[in-house]
Chain A
């Protein structure tokens, strides 16, 4: 019928999606674990149980914050960057290769800066390519970013397992980056490092730019209505390409920071799935930069909880994947059926 569905206010919709995801997680645990209550504890409380678990949980949320911001910037200009997987990989490989070839005497701060820049440039160029293709020839950025990403992933695999393969390792990985060049750890013994501050700072800076500066305003106008933006004399093609480039750069940065932090090397396929999780973060954030922080924490929490159950209660990883997919499904649903209002 005509009015049986009504769009809920954004806040209620998000709260409902989060609640449903959590309820579903509990239901999955009840179904697939022999012992329900310890599994429940592992899922919901173990991520906070000690410094090690908590630090790892937060460390996993950092790339989601940065990559989530990347997706969000693209959203702002009405572009869908589906090339995150490849852009993260490219950023990671660029950062890794640079860090491995840096001279011995370089200071750690310089190494971090160069590696981060290398990651951003690599990801940014790939993102910009999709933006330019769209501006020039109306190539759908969704399709081009996805396909370019598929190429980049394969080229990346070749580089890691070919010319850059660590001959001393049995794994498909590059050599290890010298440990004094890595980002300093905080909250040891967990893998959390200072990149969390970079993530928080980026969220703050972009949130302020979006609300209080002219480029932020113009980007928003471009995203809401291209024709109107043109009417206002805003260079739409420039903003769209720039947004895709920044989006790619943030993805690349996320990859670079993983390599310069917890990974200390570039392993084949290490970032698999991160690009997609970043999309859920951005969707959950409801096009608000500040919203990226709780969203990234929530998505990382689902993952941390699932990992603990997987190890602690032996739930197969496929079940966990289903749970994460279902959570994504709830988040992307714009309409929830609402009881039809009774006619007088």
Chain B
């Protein structure tokens, strides 16, 4: 007997206005019921758009959709839920002030019949908690029903999101980049749960660009490129390398470039002593008592889970947060880092290059043109006696767009660019001026596809070879392992690990430090 097809999408096209970009171009998808189906592709390949159409968040311009063999026109997220389709977004949508149980059963709360006439019913807390325990146990999740959602870890929040879909009897689950925020251990745990959910007959669609995870968990995989479906393959009959080739559309597909040999380390360029900074949110620790040094020609990778001080470290080093204590020694001169104006001069003069993790707000003004964003940081060069040299600015923007392979025009509004291209523009801006002595790169490749990631990694290693000191702040352990000469792990604002990246450190080991299970 043929396996039943849970989802069949044909000839799906979607064009976004006003840019006219075709996010989907006659895309196709067939997902077997009770399977884990991965959708892979580069940034802007149209994976997320296709899934938004399936979840009723976007309406297609053309194409047909069949759910369990029945043709449907999915009009809205509510309609998609009626059809049994639910989506867990990359950025979780939940009520931080409600409990786990309330978040899972939101809108479906068990009610007790009220004794007061005219009043419909009151929340039955007891049964709410019991139901939560039951559904969590059914799928092998461990959650405290009474915990406040805002206090949960990222992976626990994700579990709440998944359970919320399951509580609504949604049997087609879409997960958008589910592992991008998880540690190795958490990813393994998530995959075990997904396998359990599959065993119970549900269909799972995972959108991702991590090929190794596809090989680990998926039954079948659909490759997308430039809005089109390239093909669907059985995992058993394909290899990681083949998939990488299909995704990139090239015949030669290198693995991510390996770390260069540790360059002959130069003198210390940047040193931090006793840095302390308050947490962004009330009750968060910020960073406490940090000491580290970066040499010329060295990459120091700093890794932490969210809420453990990485954001505060970024803001302190980027000049956005006045630390409460600490000294910084830059190029031999010692500076009280609380004197933020003096520290900011280093950034302003271009001695320190800083790539923010927040692309949408800090590193770009989306409403400005690509050229304006490109020239804003080193703008003095584009004004001659205060007068704007527009040809020069346009030409240099064009050169940078070309050399970083960014498909955009200088006069285009930046908001029309894909997230990946915006990041590439930010990196192009950093590398197109004279190489700074210190580079502070925060989540440099978050959300970038394989080809762009590789390109960025090569630039970083080139800068290192040219003698820059490089500090990478990243939640991506693989990236840190691939690039860094030394690794620092923050847990609750303190450095629990600061060691050279020798063969002894691997994902699992670093995962233990990240979770605070291990400390030096």
Please give the residue numbers on chain A whose beta carbons come within 8 Å of chain B beta carbons, in ascending order. 1-3, 6, 9, 211-215, 217-218, 220-221, 224-225, 227-233, 343-344
Which 6 residue pairs are nearest across A and B when measured between Cβ atoms?
A: A225-B365, A233-B348, A224-B365, A214-B383, A228-B365, A212-B388
Mask of B14-32 contacts with A, CB within 8 angstroms, 1/0: 0001100000000000000
Interface segment, one of B302-310, B366-374, B431-439: B366-374
Number of B interface residues at 8 Å Cβ cutoff, please give it: 36
- CB-contact partner of B362 in A6, A220, A221, A231, under 8 A: A231
B379 and A231 contacting across the interface, CB-CB below 8 Å: no
- CB-contact partner of A213 in B320, B362, B377, B388, under 8 A: B388
- Return chain B residues, CB-CB under 8 Å to A344: 60-63
What separation, in Å, do the CA atoms of A220 and B365 have in the docked complex?
10
- B224: interface (CB < 8 Å): no
Q: Can you name 22 A-B pairs with beta carbons within 8 Å?
A: A2-B76, A3-B59, A6-B17, A9-B18, A211-B388, A214-B383, A217-B383, A224-B368, A225-B366, A225-B368, A227-B361, A227-B362, A228-B365, A228-B376, A230-B320, A231-B318, A232-B376, A233-B344, A233-B347, A343-B73, A344-B61, A344-B63
What separation, in Å, do the CA atoms of A220 and B379 have in the docked complex?
13
Taking A218-B379, A221-B372 as contacts, is the C-beta distance between A231 and B356 under 8 angstroms?
Answer: yes
What separation, in Å, do the CA atoms of A211 and B61 have in the docked complex?
39
- B117: interface (CB < 8 Å): no
- B364: interface (CB < 8 Å): yes
Taking A2-B76, A344-B62 as contacts, is the C-beta distance between A228 and B362 under 8 angstroms?
Answer: yes
- B503: interface (CB < 8 Å): no
- B363: interface (CB < 8 Å): yes
B388 and A217 contacting across the interface, CB-CB below 8 Å: yes
Interface SS of B by simple majority: loop
What separation, in Å, do the CA atoms of A229 and B364 have in the docked complex?
9
A343 and B59 contacting across the interface, CB-CB below 8 Å: yes
Distance between A189 CB and nearest chain B CB, rounded to angstroms:
44
- In the complex formed, the residue of B with least CB distance to A230 is B320
- In the complex formed, the residue of A with least CB distance to B345 is A233
Distance between B386 CB and nearest chain A CB, rounded to angstroms:
5
What separation, in Å, do the CA atoms of A3 and B344 have in the docked complex?
44
- Return chain A residues, CB-CB under 8 Å to B372: 217, 220-221
- Return chain B residues, CB-CB under 8 Å to A211: 388
Distance between B396 CB and nearest chain A CB, rounded to angstroms:
15
Distance between B29 CB and nearest chain A CB, rounded to angstroms:
18
| Known pairs A220-B368, A225-B364 / 13 extra A-B pairs, C-beta < 8 Å | A3-B59, A9-B18, A212-B390, A213-B386, A213-B388, A214-B380, A214-B383, A215-B386, A217-B388, A224-B365, A228-B362, A232-B377, A233-B347
B386 and A214 contacting across the interface, CB-CB below 8 Å: yes
- Return chain B residues, CB-CB under 8 Å to A217: 372, 376, 379, 383, 388
What separation, in Å, do the CA atoms of A276 and B361 have in the docked complex?
32
A225 and B386 contacting across the interface, CB-CB below 8 Å: no
- Return chain A residues, CB-CB under 8 Å to B354: 231
- Return chain A residues, CB-CB under 8 Å to B364: 225, 228
Taking A2-B76, A218-B379, A343-B73 as contacts, is the C-beta distance between A225 and B367 under 8 angstroms?
Answer: yes
- Return chain B residues, CB-CB under 8 Å to A232: 376-377, 379
